[in-house]
Amino acid sequence: MEKRELAGRMVLPIGLGCMNLSWAYGDPPPHEQKVALLERALELGYDHFDTANVYGLGANETLLGEAIMDRRGDFLLASKTGIVVHGPARGIDCRPEAMLASLDESLARLKSDRIDLFYMHRFDPKVPIADMVGALSRAIEAGKIGAYGVSEWGAAHIREAHAVHPMAAVQAEYSLWTRNPEIAVLETTRELGIAFVAFSPVARGALGGELRDPATLAEKDLRRTMPRFDADNWPRNLALIDRFDALAAQAGIAPAQLALAWLLAQGPHVHVIPGTTSIAHLEENFATLSLNVAPDLLASAGALINQSTVSGPRYSPAAQATVDTEDFAS
């Protein structure tokens, strides 16, 4: 598959989401396994690595700084700011002074003088968009970041920000079973010439071919708080997943590969950043780039799993309240 433009650079459309090397899905692997996975990613040809200051409260950026910054010229580096954590509570702070201080802290942890793509991790309704974008445009002028993006912003706010200073990328959860970007954001990014970066493209592991019982997930696994994995919704979703796995098996590919191929077919501006702690899965995901998946198979996958067939909302009400991307329920 040909490379696609992202933040002024041509990269492969499958990048590496680094979050779960440090946080969110159970206990992270030992440090040496994390380093080995990142090194293997570079060996394979991954050239887009995505992290954030909040992943492990800085631990993920520190990991990348230690493990792969000796190859800094070989990849596009993306990070994020804006989510703040105070003990068990989370909030959003995109005040200019807060973001610029956070940027300097991220650069220090990453051992880099520049982040190629710097996202506002969530929309902050307390701060005027012109002020938020203005701060990041000054960071671009200073050479600290190459471009800015936003994560989980709605279409109207994307347009407003892009009018202040051109936006390089929009990141949002997008997969066969999370179609919210199709309401407005996907078309908005296409129209404005903004790259779209899909996180959780394998439905938070549900379409990865292995998860059978969420009750086996680690106690602190983030998915335990998500309605689609609860005891009411999971049996119905698992029935869909079984049919999806059969589709992939009939084509001789892995379920995750079918999920990624479907996303990449949604537009030439679409990128995906699956995360993993497994080198085997890392290799499997990357191999999707060499597959030629039939359009009728992609259509069948999309008809099988979509916003009308999946059971349960993507987030709890409290988590959904922090998301600006348009929601089918509203």
Q: Are 276 and 285 in contact (CB under 8 A)?
A: yes
Please state whether beta strands 145-151 and 169-173 pair in parallel, antiparallel, or not at all (unpaired): parallel
Q: Tally Cβ neighbours within 10 Å of residue 3.
A: 13
Q: Are 300 and 37 in contact (CB under 8 A)?
A: no
Beta strands in the chain (DSSP E): 4-6, 9-11, 16-17, 48-50, 76-81, 83-86, 89-92, 115-120, 145-151, 169-173, 195-199, 270-272
Question: What percent helix, strand, coil does the chain show, rounded to 5?
Answer: 45, 15, 40
What stretch of H or E contains 3? none
Q: Tally Cβ neighbours within 10 Å of residue 216.
A: 8
Q: Are 67 and 39 in contact (CB under 8 A)?
A: yes
Active site includes 55? yes
Beta bridge partners of 86: 89
Please state whether beta strands 195-199 and 270-272 pair in parallel, antiparallel, or not at all (unpaired): parallel
Task: Name the active-site residue from 25, 55, 119, 148.
Answer: 55
Q: In what order do the strands lie in the sheet with 16-17?
A: 16-17, 48-50, 76-81, 115-120, 145-151, 169-173, 195-199, 270-272
Copy the structure tokens of residue 135: 């701060």
Q: Determine the distance from the C-alpha atom of residue 9 to the mean position of all C-alpha atoms in its chain, rounded to a whole number.
A: 18
73, 76, 77, 79 alpha-carbon torsion, rounded to 10°: 170
Residues 6+ apart with CB under 8 A from 10: 3, 4
Cite the active site residues. 55
